[in-house]
Amino acid sequence: MTQTFLPPGTPIDVTNCEREPIHIPGSVQPHGVLVTTTGPGEPLLQVSAGSEHFVGRTAEELLGSTLEDLLDDASSVAVARAMAESSVSRVGVPLTVAPRRPGPFAQLEALLHRSGDVWIVELEPAPDVPQVGSSFHDVRDAVADLSRTDTTTELLQSAAEHVRRITGFDRVMLYRFDREWNGEVVAEDKVPELDSFLGLHYPAGDIPPQARALYRVNWLRFIRDVDAVNVPLVPVLDPTTDAPLDLSLAALRSVSPIHCQYLRNMGVTASMSLSLIVEGELAGLIACHHYSGPFVPNAPVRATCEFLAQNVSLMLGARERDEHVTRSLATGDTLAGVVRATRGARDDLSAGLAPQAGALMRMVGADGISWNLDGRTLTAGDVPEPDELARLRGWALSRVAPDGTMHTDRVGQLEPELADLADTASGVLLVQVAEDQDVLFVRPEAVQTIDWGGNPHLKELTTGEDGVARLSPRGSFALWRETVRLRSRPWEEAELEAAHGLRNHLVELLFERNRALAGVAETLQRSLLPEQLPAAPGWSLAADYRPASVGVGGDWYDAVPVGPGRMLLVVGDVAGHGLVAAGAMAQVRNALRAYAVEDPEPVSVLTRLDHLVAVLTPDAMATASVVLLDLVSGEASVATAGHPAPMVCRGTTGCELVPVETGPPLGAGALGGPQGRVSHSVVVGRGDALLLVTDGMFERRDEAVDVSLGNLAAEALELLTTGGDPQDALNRLVERARPADSDDDATLLLARRL
């Protein structure tokens, strides 16, 4: 979702600081000067106020001049070369430059980077003597020490110690984020007189989302003096765009007033932050605090620290990848066992999974497991009682993501009615394999005691100079202990990946099994369809059956001679797919044939089928359209049971549905007796065509039925009444008129009078 920032100048407090436009503040910190230009020899477009304190010339005097006017010849050449040779948007190594006119400082440190179409040049006073930590030996020793650490904890502690030694800050701490962006201090180095922050947690609101986004872009951020007054850019808007200048990569970018107040409340006078980025994501920060006045390391030292932060990030990522590989290998072994067990019990997945329950729980770190496969629900480990488990499963299934999984570590907080399950199921991980097929893992509540750096829920109301009361950051950072309930241990990324692996295997297994069943069903279904249609003197008969993309269904067609000069035509549909639908269809189709021999009148046939379906297959949803056709006169008696009426196509007037009353589906008519069925007679003239279809031939999800039937009628009129081979015409009608995304069978039966 796109972040909507507040308009510049909006008063900021803790209620709106997450919308503060900190990347386009229009001002900089006052201990340096910032200028913009499109390149060497081009005019300066923006200059920060107060430039006279660094280069002896005001912003108004510098605007319109060039970098060559600002810097001496050697410095101008060095800057132009750096701009020309830079293949990225940022020149990483600071340049030592001198102003052309004598000013307060003989030498300055210059940092260069691009922002849109302009170059930003930032100038800070160069130190009189080199600062500690910027030499090659310091960097080499630090990297060597980091490489010698054995654990992640040792790595982060070593990083904190080296950054403090190099920079001279009073405190350096390593800060790691959890999934909700709360932070924990996991390593620290400080001067002895300071209280330790090690182990303290800080809420996500302390670092708003837009600040975290900038930490991903700019590895280093510093505040020289929390009490300094920021100075504006002159002019405030970039003349090339008439918009605020993007200062995301600027070292001098001004600081959010809410953040400065936060630091003041902590007693901090200056700070610096270094990003830890793993796999492109912000994983933590190296936070540096000073307590005895303004302080900032010079540009070379900051560059050294940035280099170290990048090395720590790489090492941290490598160690996490190693841990992930180790975990993945263990997961692979578990899934291999599941594969062996379930492939041998493909007809009974529940039984095949039972011996693997313990290994699966260990794989994802669960205390209980319940699987619902093939109509059976089994459990292992510590799970809720059956009724409670069903309630939990229903709730979890209602929240399944598109990838077929659902997980949470706070069931009771999300659904208070399930809070009573905390002792077994505060955490849930569900993988849905198919409809009514899933595996559910549970974890109990893990009561946590969290030590916060101050009460994270406490805000203070202060009155500003404008007399308006606003919420400010908490003022106390003393230890504040909180007990958290109704939460389980969070599901780790490796555990979620393992669950996905289990789901993929079970989905594949079900697919293979269903494909085999579909093959049997299709063989059964096609064996019940006529191998060839009977001869009908004076008529051409043709049929087409297309199975659904999701599996064989219960469609069928038939043409049954029922005496001299008479033919019974049938198209029917049993709802569903697979063997169940095909088996039900076989019973209905064979019974219809038997009834037709005794009495072929459509109403009689359907009425007798009503009783059969109601008694033998009460759960089946079946429909049919039956036509008794007189081959000599062309008269057709039509009756339907919940099925689309046949269509008569006449070459001169078009195609129309036979206006027969659609009766209830098969089985339902038994409740109303024979009077519940009616028939309608229509005459099929010479050259006309009678077409019977199932709804898979025309139904579309995004289109009304009458519109779909109208489209089918238009195609049928063009193809079925123009002579030629009727089977070819029928095949072309299916290709042109059947919905491309249909997940239902399509069946057609054509009788064209010569």
Residue ranges of the domains in the chain? 27-125, 347-445+488-516, 448-484, 529-753
Residue 163 host element (H or E)? helix 152-167
Per-state percent for the chain, helix, strand, coil, to nearest 5: 35, 30, 35
Could you tell me which residues come within 8 angstroms of residue 535 by beta carbon, excluding any fewer than 6 positions away? none
Q: What is the pLDDT of residue 694?
A: 87
Q: Do domains 347-445+488-516 and 529-753 have the same CATH topology?
A: no
Residue appearing with tokens 């291999």: 336
Instruction: Report the distance separating Cα 743 and Cα 726, nearest Å.
Output: 26
Q: What is the pLDDT of residue 549?
A: 54
Q: Please choose, from the candidates 76, 74, 33, the residue with its C-alpha nearest in 3D space to the C-alpha of residue 57.
A: 33
> DSSP assignment of 466-522, as one string?
TS-EEEE--S--SEEEEEE-S--PPPPHHHHHHHHHHHHHHHHHHHHHHHHHHHHHH
In 136-177 the beta strands, taken as DSSP E runs, fall at 171-177
In our burial notation (b when 16+ CB lie closer than 10 A, e otherwise), range 323-361 reads: eeeebeeebeebbeebbebbeeeeeebbbbbbebbeebb
CATH number of the domain located at residue range(s) 347-445+488-516 in this protein:
3.30.450.270
Task: Locate all alpha helices (DSSP H) within 282-421, ordered by sequence.
Answer: 299-343, 349-353, 357-364, 386-397, 411-414
CATH number of the domain located at residue range(s) 27-125 in this protein:
3.30.450.20
Residue ranges of the chain with pLDDT lower than 70? 1-22, 87-92, 128-136, 341-347, 447-484, 511-528, 548-553, 577-580, 652, 669-675, 721-723, 741
The residues facing 10 across adjacent strands are: none
pTM: 0.58
Q: What is the pLDDT of residue 482?
A: 58
Q: What is the pLDDT of residue 65?
A: 94
Instruction: Report the distance separating Cα 473 and Cα 176, nearest Å.
Output: 21
Q: What is the pLDDT of residue 455?
A: 60
Q: Please choose, from the candidates 52, 21, 49, the residue with its C-alpha nearest in 3D space to the C-alpha of residue 34.
A: 49
Q: What is the pLDDT of residue 266?
A: 83
Q: What's the CATH fold of domain 529-753?
A: Phosphatase 2c; domain 1 (3.60.40)
